[in-house]
């Protein structure tokens, strides 16, 4: 009996932790979506990639470097923090961290070529290209970022090119009215 209660308690705790992580990540997405979309529109890098990398590198804003240094992309550099001793770069704001990530992508040769190779709709190409460029040492990094994009459906925040949008039929037109027109005789009195 005690064993069953212990297993049930552990299962409940696991579900609770998983639900909290999901809620934390969704809150992170909600808080940073506007900035990611702004950067996507200006720089033509998918918002999904920006958000997924930030979620991955900052544990959805809960890591120490995210909390104390506003560093959401794991960029190394100097900082003036008295709260944490770290080799990671410090930023005044989270927005500064996002801006520097894009600047970093533009200014490093191994990443800057990605802007010519991929558009803002190709999150798979961007993730693989960033990994190949040496952003992270883990061989699983791009898979982890892609899995975050899929898990949280971040791809839905990437602007679709006009040719990919479905053709919309106005509500006043019936599908049946699009068939071959019938000739109708009109009588005028």
- Give the domain range for residue 27: 2-178
**In a domain? residue 189:** no
CA distance linking residue 122 with residue 32, whole number of Å: 20
Domain membership of residue 183 (yes or no) is no
* Count of structural domains within the chain: 1
Residue 16's CB is within 10 A of a number of other CB atoms, namely 10
- CA 44 to chain CA centroid, Å, is 14
pTM of the model: 0.75
In a domain, 184, yes or no: no
Structure tokens at 75: 């960029």
Sign of the four-CA dihedral 105, 90, 86, 55: negative
pLDDT in tens, 93-149: 999 999 999 999 999 999 999 999 999 899 999 999 999 999 999 999 999 999 999
- How many Å apart are CA 73 and CA 97, to the nearest integer? 7
CATH number of the domain at 132, please. 1.10.530.10
Mean pLDDT of 166-189: 47
The full DSSP string for 52-100 is HHHHHHHTTTTSHHHHHH---S--B-----SS---SBPP-SSHHHHHHH
Question: Using an 8 Å Cβ cutoff, are 73 and 90 in contact?
Answer: no
């Amino acid at each position: 009996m005690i064993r069953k209660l212990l297993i049930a308690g552990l299962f409940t705790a696991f579900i609770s932790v998983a639900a909290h992580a999901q809620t934390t990540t969704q809150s992170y997405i909600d808080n940073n979506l506007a900035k990611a979309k702004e950067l996507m529109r200006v720089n033509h890098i998918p918002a999904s990639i920006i958000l997924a990398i930030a979620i991955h590198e900052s544990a959805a804003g809960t890591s120490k470097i995210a909390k104390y240094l506003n560093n959401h992309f794991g960029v190394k550099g100097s900082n003036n923090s008295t709260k944490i001793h770290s080799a990671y770069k410090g930023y005044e704001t989270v927005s500064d961290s996002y801006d520097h990530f894009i600047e970093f992508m533009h200014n490093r040769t191994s990443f800057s070529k990605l802007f010519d190779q991929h558009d803002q709709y190709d999150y798979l190409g961007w993730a693989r290209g960033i990994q190949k460029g040496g952003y992270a040492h883990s061989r699983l990094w791009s898979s982890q970022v892609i899995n975050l994009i899929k898990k949280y459906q971040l791809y839905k925040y990437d602007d679709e090119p006009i040719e990919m949008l479905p053709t919309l039929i106005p509500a006043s037109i019936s599908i049946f009215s699009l068939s071959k027109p019938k000739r109708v005789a009109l009588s005028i009195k």
